[in-house]
Chains A and B, each alone.
Chain A
């Protein structure tokens, strides 16, 4: 039982990382209607820019570096969308072309990172932290901070979507892009802002992944991508709140499973849950049938 609570605690940490990543992916998917397969690489790139700010260039404190890394990916995302993704998406009427382009972008980014930083494992400059007892769970202060960041972000995204005009425009575009356009919503501006947000969240998620895992390599993001997909699909594709719920489910499930099976396969548990969802309730576990939040 002790083991269960320990795993549960770690599960909350993983869920936090996943939630940030999954929401970023969902926001972008809602607006553009295609999945960005380079998302994992956005995450890794964010982690590496943070690394550079933390370890090499300015020797910033990890949290400040984190901000820098996240914002940088926001900008990168907007640029890549303007230069590459958006033109391809407009030109071809079948989604699979732009999906291949994102897949190609993933390859390019990954190898770019390998070229610059090599395949070696890197570590952030962070003072060592001891694990603290939080009830039956054992967590470091970094893990707690990451969880806090995740909760704040979820709340922030929720507020933005429901209370601000920007958020309502995003939801409108997500439901029906043509209608949104004719209703006077500046879809181009909203798209840019969404990509920026998605990029920031990706960079943030990649960095906290590096913090919680304790190390980073250029491929870290890609290898984690399928877990994010699992969270998004089990939660219900296209639903932001579904993504959050899916993140919690997958995060907890993968860590708790590590208590029972060989921990090397804990991430694969996410895949099993994904398959089960597809077989039993393909529209997602947290959405009403056929509805998109």
Chain B
């Protein structure tokens, strides 16, 4: 297979993978308003656990790691997802319960840096700075795939997994649970005043989102066969935020678009541009900075994203519209109000479905 196809299918894999990652962060941040600045840490835990449980026992491999249970795909992937969720539970009980947004963000970023520090330095855990490698290829025994055919195959597998996860996420977001998440995002105090146990719902949101993060991470290590700390510097969390914000918070199609836009910019661009002699990595640096700038520009000019969140309209409940008694409504509209509505972002749209 010629190089360009190899390259394109790698892109396709990351498109689907970052779509999964974006869905996970979206349920936490976009739907529930939890600013999880440690998201990449959850992705990493998923990757490491998926890899470590599928590797054989570490003795004699030249690597140092825990677990080493020789488990096959997709069992290892699911364990990776669950490991992330387990971390989410711990984080939720210690930090989420007690802290408001900015303090929580501080603690989470710190967690991300500390996790990174530990994985980088503590070799017995996941082989330290070298990371895990030689992770067995999924389906290696059953299908004898060459490297050339593995890549498009696994990109397709990831696509299928992404589709399934999309289906589940869609159902959750459209359900009353999804609505309660959004209520908490919009105003926690009101949600509590209406009887919602805010912590429990946030915990659920964290659990679901981290599971997605773990799966996304696990797929990465299965695709490339290796995973080390350079893959997940804490700033990577920002890339996932960029996918969501550029694509469209709260809209799954938007997330796919965001993954396409940001991921193409991130992965695509540097590989195509020639390296500048004497300045190794310059393209990557400028590129990363551009993502930051793009995000700010989007946030300023189009905060709802490329594909905005779609409100759930009355028709979707399967009710026929009634002729309202409504004299009151005309009365209300005609009357001059004494308190002006406060200026809130988004007031310029009328809230209708824009896509």
Contacts and interface: CB of A to CB of B under 8 A. Distances in A.
B109 A229 contact: yes
A27 to B, nearest CB: 16
Interface string A101-112: 101111110111
B94 A278 contact: yes
A232 B282 CA distance: 35
B74 interface: no
A226 B94 CA distance: 17
Given A226-B110, A229-B107, A271-B114, A92 B345 contact: yes
A37 B109 contact: yes
Given A93-B344, A114-B281, A264-B121, A271 B110 contact: yes
B33 A274 contact: no
Contacts of B296: 84, 88, 101, 104-105
B87 interface: no
- Prevailing SS type, chain B contact patch: helix
Contacts, number: 126
Interface in A22-54: 34-35, 37
A84 B103 CA distance: 22
B288 interface: yes
Contacts of B101: 95-96, 99
Given A104-B238, A107-B291, A279-B94, A95 B102 contact: yes
A107 B235 contact: yes
B35 interface: yes
B107 A103 contact: no
Nearest to A106: B235
Interface centre among A92, A105, A111, A267 (most CB of B within 10 A): A111
Contacts of A93: 342, 344-345
Given A99-B35, A268-B117, A112 B106 contact: no
Contact of B107 (A108, A114, A222, A233): A233
Given A96-B35, A111-B288, A115-B286, A230 B121 contact: no
Interface residues of B, number: 48
B114 A104 contact: no
Contacts of B231: none
Given A93-B344, A226-B110, A229-B106, A108 B35 contact: no
A275 interface: yes
B158 to A, nearest CB: 27
Contacts of A264: 121
A229 B292 CA distance: 23
Interface in B338-355: 342, 344-345
A134 interface: no
Contact of A100 (B106, B241, B289, B345): B241
Ranked 3 nearest A-B pairs via Cβ: A226-B110, A111-B289, A108-B292
18 contacts: A88-B296, A88-B300, A92-B303, A96-B35, A99-B105, A106-B235, A107-B291, A108-B293, A110-B288, A115-B279, A115-B285, A118-B280, A118-B281, A222-B113, A233-B107, A265-B118, A267-B117, A271-B110
